[in-house]
DNA sequence: AAAAACTGACGGAATATTCCGTCAGTTTTT
DNA sequence: AAAAACTGACGGAATATTCCGTCAGTTTTT
């Protein structure tokens, strides 16, 4: 419980103030917890960041894959999953910003990334199936997934930045754009 | 001269170690400059980051728009400019990572972003022309530009990460994907 | 030779981290 | 079943450590 409080507090502060200007004492205060307690659960500020990342990716994937069954056409599955990703981030702007800001941070090792990403590998199965049916441009499943993700990722960034209203029509168009970019003409 | 040395040193250290773990003394050492000298040119670490950003975007845009003349088809202009963007980043991985890592940082204010982005507005003219000819999906020029940029941005991230070999064929395909995502079917 | 630029040792403020007493809850003893 | 002993999470004061930013002395430029 306290551990989660600390993670949430850290996430909020890191996103709004930037890693370097957040002190452990601030995190403790925001989490309504003693400073010592922070050290009971974490070794350092970097450790907190790493654990937020893992926790975060885990929450994301639960949301995305909840009730997911790979039925229907590839396109339907594609839309189902990516729409979930989009909605998750739009509903959790703080978490999104954290995700964006730290994705390329040197604090997160390759090991942490792999650990955190393992739940997202289901995406690759989808792309594999699409490739077999010659729906996609000739890249590996992994690369197609990364491509779609980075597209969506950047798009959400400015959608939040410009406080765009994201109704169903907009999201549908966006999924169409993502699809068009990887599918064969 | 020393100012530029400091900016380059800061960029390198921030990217490889992360903002919070880089000290002014480290930057001074890397730049082969006294600590006091850093304070002669900059007020703080945050100030250094902001000035790196501005400097960086300025170098990028010089590279991208060098010898650019809006001739030929929209598609040709599109390819010309975005290929330049891609090549710039591929040739400057450190600069790319800096750009990626700090794009969403709370250190960079809206003012800094606007200042740094003003040289890239030429892109919007291109998109405006394309919109007039009904080549693109019905979004604003600004949004189409941001969309393409985020696509390319994310793509370069994993290209560098996976140490992909980026020959002309790959770049051509990639430009095709970016084009496909915004053009009308 | 005067002014400007530079250097890096140093003091002290800021911050991280440790350490220990407290106390609510649990287990053992009587 | 009451009392005593035990446990370990917790908080925050104390301490260790880092890091900033200044400034006296030095070098370079004009």
Q: Which residue has the higher pLDDT, B162 or B100?
A: B100
Cβ of A1 less than 7 A from strand D: yes
Q: What is the DSSP annotation of B78-138?
A: HHHHHHHHHHHHHH-HHHHHHHHHHTT-TTS-HHHHHHHHGGGGHHHHHHHHHHHTT-B-S
What pLDDT sits at residue B56? 97
Q: Is the pLDDT of residue A175 over 80?
A: yes
Q: What average pLDDT does this structure show over B149-178? A: 86
Task: Give the pLDDT score at A161.
Answer: 77
Whether B141 and B72 have beta carbons less than 8 Å apart is answered as no
Optimal mutation site among A21, A124, A154, A162, interface B, most CBs of chain B within 10 A: A154
For the segment A47-56, the average pLDDT, to the nearest whole number, is: 96
Give me the CA A27–C1' D12 separation in Å, rounded: 15
Residues of chain B in contact with residue A183, where contact means CB-CB under 8 angstroms, are: 180
**Is the distance between the Cβ of A29 and the closest atom of strand C smaller than 7 Å?**
no
Q: What is the pTM for the complete model shown? A: 0.91
pLDDT > 90? residue B166: no
Three-state SS at A167: coil
Average pLDDT over residues A10-17: 96
Give the bases of strand D that a protein CB approaches within 7 Å.
9-13, 18-24
**Preferred mutation among B154, B158, B159, B184 to probe A, highest tally of A CBs within 10 A:** B154
Q: Is the CB of A24 less than 7 A from some atom of nucleic acid strand C?
A: yes
Which region among A132-136, B24-28, B161-165 has the lowest average model confidence (pLDDT)?
Answer: B161-165
Whether the predicted pLDDT of A141 surpasses 90: yes
Please report the pLDDT score of residue A153 as a whole number.
Answer: 86
Q: Predicted confidence band at B165 (pLDDT cuts at 50, 70, 90)?
A: confident
Q: Is the pLDDT of residue B161 over 80?
A: no
The reply to whether A36 Cβ lies less than 7 angstroms from strand C is yes
Distance from CA of A39 to the nearest CA of B (A): 19
Distance B109 CA to D25 C1' (A): 39
pLDDT of residue A181: 87
Collapsed DSSP state (helix, strand, coil) of residue A161: helix
Q: Which residues of A touch B153 (CB under 8 A)?
A: 150, 154
What percentage of chain A exceeds 90 in pLDDT? 78
Cα(A86)–Cα(A171) distance, rounded to whole angstroms? 8
Least confidently predicted of A61-65, B7-11, B101-105: B101-105
pLDDT reading at B16 higher than 90: yes
Task: Supply the pLDDT for residue A143.
Answer: 87
Question: What pLDDT, on the 0 to 100 scale, is given for residue A38?
Answer: 97
Mean pLDDT for chain A?
93
Per-residue pLDDT at A71 = 92
d(CA A182, CA B140): 22
Please check the confidence at residue A111 and state whether its pLDDT lies above 80: yes
Tell me how close the Cα of B101 comes to any Cα of chain A, in angstroms: 6
pLDDT band at B104 (very low <50, low <70, confident <90, very high): confident
Q: Specify the pLDDT at position B53.
A: 97
* Average pLDDT for B57-78: 96
Helix (H, G, I), strand (E, B) or coil at B23: coil
**pLDDT average, residue stretch B74-100:** 96
């Amino acid at each position: 419980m306290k551990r989660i409080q600390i993670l949430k507090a850290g996430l909020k502060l890191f996103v709004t103030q930037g890693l370097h200007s957040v002190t452990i004492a601030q995190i403790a205060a925001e989490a309504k917890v003693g400073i010592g307690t922070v050290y009971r659960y974490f070794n350092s500020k970097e450790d907190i960041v790493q654990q937020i990342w893992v926790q975060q990716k885990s929450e994301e994937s639960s949301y995305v894959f909840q009730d997911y069954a790979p039925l229907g056409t590839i396109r339907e599955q594609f839309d189902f999953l990516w729409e979930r990703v989009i909605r998750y981030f739009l509903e959790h702007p703080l978490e999104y910003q954290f995700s964006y800001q730290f994705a390329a941070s040197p604090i997160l090792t390759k090991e942490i990334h792999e650990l955190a990403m393992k739940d997202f590998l289901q995406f690759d199965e989808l792309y594999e199936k699409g490739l077999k049916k010659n729906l996609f441009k000739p890249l590996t499943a992994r690369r197609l997934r990364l491509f779609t993700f980075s597209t969506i990722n950047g798009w959400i960034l400015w959608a939040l930045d410009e406080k765009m209203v994201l109704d169903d029509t907009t999201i549908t168009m966006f999924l169409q754009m993502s699809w068009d970019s990887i599918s064969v003409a």
